[in-house]
């Protein structure tokens, strides 16, 4: 009888272990997508974060993925830590919008070394770690803005550039702009970092207005920065500046264009691009091969002529 009891106890333990093993195996079969985004420092990023979360949840609801891990960070060090955590959790793919291109490139390489597919949205890395890059046409924004300014100023004038922080986005928008004004008499008299912030751009533009007595136009690399710039111009009561351009396609800038305000043009760079990034990330997480290595959203110009086609009074951004 003692022997039977011992055998029964052993059998119970073995069955328990098998049960635990089966449960663990089921968890490992789950498809989990990791998201590593910056914090919402401005309206465009806030809209992008909302779009990313909504799309990830929609993919869970429809059964494309089982779950997602969502992280945001205020600085590159924290974002690197977030990605390290996602790697440790064993997610099946990662979608990342790098806060800074160079600073996040090493952790991107680590993701690749771990064999985890990586989708980069908006700001590119400085290496080849990404499986797929989803971005707006940053060079096209600069080129289109330059061509617009050349046309409006008849190829002659003094222009200020309000750029973003160091990243592929900023570099490409600056390079495209310079490329398009080459050979004209358009002169960039000041180029400052507005940090993709309305408040910072307001302060930066205040200093430029004090230093520069004559300005014909301002090229800003972001709609939020454009709003800060026109506030500074209005407060300084400067009448020499003919117009300001933005980038992004925000509702508030569309309204300024419609109302014949100081912003006369912007160039599309929709925060909806992250939806493509999340969709691609989910496919890679499920073992699919990428259809292409790069997805580029066109930088369509929006002016008073076509603003009504793009304006949505109910838009979040």
Residue spans of the domains in the chain: they are: 31-136+271-297, 138-270+304-310
pLDDT given at position 29 = 85
Residues 6+ apart with CB under 8 A from 182: none
Q: Is 68 helix (H, G, I), strand (E, B) or coil?
A: strand
Q: How far is CA 18 from CA 4, 15, 131, 252, in A?
A: 21, 5, 38, 60
Q: Is 100 helix (H, G, I), strand (E, B) or coil?
A: coil
Rounded Cα distance, 165 and 249, in Å: 19
The reply to whether 138-270+304-310 shares the fold of 31-136+271-297 is yes
Structure tokens at 179: 């490329």
pLDDT given at position 115 = 97
- Superfamily (CATH H level) for 31-136+271-297: Response regulator (3.40.50.2300)
Structure tokens at 134: 């989803």
Structure tokens at 125: 């890395």
Q: Are β-strands 185-193 and 243-245 bridged in parallel, bridged antiparallel, or unpaired?
A: unpaired
Tens-level pLDDT at each residue, the chain (317 residues):
444 444 444 444 443 433 333 333 335 689 999 999 999 877 889 999 999 999 999 999 999 999 999 999 999 999 999 999 999 999 999 999 999 999 999 999 999 999 999 999 998 999 999 999 999 999 999 999 999 999 999 999 999 999 998 888 999 999 999 999 999 999 999 999 999 999 999 999 999 999 999 999 999 999 999 999 999 999 999 999 999 999 999 999 999 999 999 999 999 998 999 999 999 999 999 999 999 999 998 999 999 999 999 998 888 78
pLDDT given at position 4 = 43
Domain 138-270+304-310, CATH number (from 2.40.50.140, 3.40.50.620, 1.20.1260.10, 3.40.50.2300): 3.40.50.2300
- Beta-bridged to residue 96, according to DSSP, are 36, 120
The reported pTM is 0.76
């Amino acid at each position: 009888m003692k022997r039977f009891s011992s055998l029964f106890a052993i059998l119970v333990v073995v069955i328990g272990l098998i049960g635990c093993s089966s449960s663990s195996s089921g968890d490992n079969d789950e498809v989990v997508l990791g998201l590593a985004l910056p914090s919402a420092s401005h309206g465009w990023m806030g809209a992008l974060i909302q779009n990313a979360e909504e799309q990830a949840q929609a993919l869970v609801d429809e059964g494309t993925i089982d779950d997602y891990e969502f992280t945001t960070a205020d600085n590159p060090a924290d974002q690197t830590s977030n990605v390290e955590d996602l790697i440790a959790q064993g997610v099946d793919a990662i979608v990342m919008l790098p806060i800074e291109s160079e600073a996040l490139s090493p952790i991107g390489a680590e993701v690749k070394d771990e064999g985890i597919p990586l989708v980069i949205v908006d700001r590119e890395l400085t290496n080849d770690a990404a499986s797929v890059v989803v971005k707006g046409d940053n060079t096209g924004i600069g080129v289109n803005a330059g061509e617009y300014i050349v046309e409006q100023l008849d190829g002659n004038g003094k222009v200020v550039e309000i750029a973003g922080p160091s990243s592929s986005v900023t570099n490409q928008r600056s390079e495209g702009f310079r490329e398009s004004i080459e050979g004209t008499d358009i002169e960039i008299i000041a180029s400052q970092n507005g940090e993709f912030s309305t408040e910072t751009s307001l302060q930066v533009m205040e200093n430029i207005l004090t230093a520069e007595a004559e300005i014909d136009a301002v090229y800003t690399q972001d709609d939020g920065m454009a709003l800060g710039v026109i506030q500074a111009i209005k407060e300084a009561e400067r009448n020499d500046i003919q117009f300001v351009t933005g980038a992004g396609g925000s509702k508030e800038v569309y309204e300024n264009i419609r109302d014949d305000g100081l912003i006369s043009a912007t160039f599309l760079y929709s925060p909806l691009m992250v939806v493509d990034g999340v969709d691609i990330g989910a496919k890679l997480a499920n073992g699919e091969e990428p259809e292409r290595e790069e997805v580029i959203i066109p930088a369509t110009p929006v002016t008073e002529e076509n603003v009504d086609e793009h304006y949505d009074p109910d838009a979040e951004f």
